Structure 1
Amino acid sequence: MSSWGLYFAFLIPPLVLGFWIQHRLKSTVEREMKVPVSNGMTGEQVARTILEHNGLVDVPVQPAPGGPLSDHYDPTKRTVNLSQGVFDGRSVASVAIAAHEVGHAIQHQKAYAPFKFRSALFPAVQFASRTWIFLLLAGFIFKITGLAAVAVILFAVVVLFQLVTLPVEYDASRRAKQQLSSLGLVSGGEADGASQVLSAAALTYVAAALAALSQLAYYALIFLGNRN
């Protein structure tokens, strides 16, 4: 098979899967954003309630500067950052997303091993993600096998980060569901909707990991082929 044939064989299927999962996430969040929670609490209030219940009274909950789905937990500043629609929102989706980000804060508090490993890996990933493509292009253009090999190794670090992210995200969602249920922050039907939001969000990380693995396999195969 030609290199272009290999490229499409390795990368098109995960790309299509990724588009489908992103569409599913967007439609699920949009649907559940229209479903109000019966207790009338905002995402910020729910996040604050869960944090305080877990002894994290010193962790701020603040609006994130980005748009929708820019929600994140910053382990360096120990802050929960929620997009405006989640921060102020009183919907099932707002509650679910807020609880998920607090799940990361709880992981940090409890020194959850995959979370610690991902945080430790982050500086190396920042360097690798900025560098690998330039080394790969230089290696292929100038036929310098060593540069291409280093590029593949650096990209493998990026892929490793994607793989480690999977248990971190799934565990944060598990903690979110547990907290929402045990604290009575959602009712029966609302819990189902929150679970669907969290499951759809988790699948985006699965798609990203599959795409990264496929890309790594492609580059490794081309590299090994060039060596023979």
Structure 2
Amino acid sequence: MFFYDSTFIILIPALIISAWAQMKVKSTFDKFSRVRSINGYTGAQVARMLLDSEGLYDVPVEQISGRLTDHYDPRNRVMRLSPDVYGSTSIAAIGVAAHETGHAIQHQRHYAPLQIRSAIVPVVNFSSNASWIIFLLGFIFRSTYLLNIGVLLFGAVVLFQLVTLPVEFDASNRALKILSGRAILYGDEIKGAKSVLSAAAMTYVAAALMAVSQLLRLLILSREE
């Protein structure tokens, strides 16, 4: 949620980086979606193999609609892959499937940043919208108390974005090591998968930068009241 004022300029760098990151991940995914892997495994097959190798036989691999909607659901312990990943034998699909498997492995091994992120999800779901509403009410009624509450609530959003960074980078590192170690991808294929996952990681960096920029903006606005 945005409202315009002179502090909006603080968001410009984050907006530019966010736009670039979105274009980068789309172009990189599209590029390596056209490159088929030598072994010819589909994303779903790779996810299943890697899950089974970690003893996660009870984690199903399902297809979900949409594009780049792939995710591991720690609450229901389900791997969900988009059509572009689930049935594709491309390097991009295998990289993404392995990345999501990395999250399942994190969950199994009680990876601390993932546990923290999962724990604060209910708070973030509430504060992401409530923070702006309360902050705007503080502006309208010139209430420092409400402004501070709004800033504090938005701080939870920033924390979530910052904790997400190690979670995503770690999942990608796990994925690349497994793909190489199990000879699922080879040589230049690993480099291609790394390019896809690195581009995807930049979207999380951009989201964190945007959240921090928004928090800085709110702090400045609250001090002007």
User: 2:98 is aligned with what amino acid?
Assistant: A
**Quick check: 1:54 aligned with 2:79?**
no
User: 2:138 is aligned with what amino acid?
Assistant: G
SS for the counterpart of 1:62 is: strand
Matched residue, 1:219: 218
Give the drift of 1:100. 0.4
Matched residue, 1:28: 28
For residues 25 and 133 of structure 2, what CA distance do their matches in structure 1 show? 32
Give the drift of 1:43. 0.2
Matched residue, 2:145: 146
For residues 126 and 202 of structure 1, what CA distance do their matches in structure 2 show? 22
Deviations 1:160-213 (A, max 9, x none): 000000000000000000111111110111111000001010111001101110
For residues 179 and 80 of structure 1, what CA distance do their matches in structure 2 show? 17
Alignment of 1:4-15 (within 5 A): 4-8=5-9, 10-15=10-15
Name the TM-score, length of structure 1 as normaliser: 0.95
Give the drift of 1:110. 0.4
User: 2:51 is aligned with what amino acid?
Assistant: L
**Structure 1 unaligned spans of 5+:** none
Give the drift of 1:225. 2.6
**Quick check: 1:179 aligned with 2:193?**
no
Deviations 1:131-188 (A, max 9, x none): 1111111111121221111111000000100000000000000000011111111011
Alignment of 1:1-228 (within 5 A): 4-8=5-9, 10-65=10-65, 67-226=66-225
Give the drift of 1:4. 3.1
SS for the counterpart of 1:184 is: coil
Give the drift of 1:6. 2.5
SS for the counterpart of 1:98 is: helix
SS for the counterpart of 1:57 is: coil
Identity %: 49
- Report runs of 4+ in structure 1 exceeding 4 Å deviation: none
For residues 137 and 223 of structure 2, what CA distance do their matches in structure 1 show? 17
SS for the counterpart of 1:73 is: strand
For residues 56 and 183 of structure 1, what CA distance do their matches in structure 2 show? 17
Name the TM-score, length of structure 2 as normaliser: 0.96
CA RMSD of aligned residues (A): 1.0
For residues 216 and 130 of structure 1, what CA distance do their matches in structure 2 show? 14
- How many residue pairs match? The answer is 222
SS for the counterpart of 1:186 is: coil
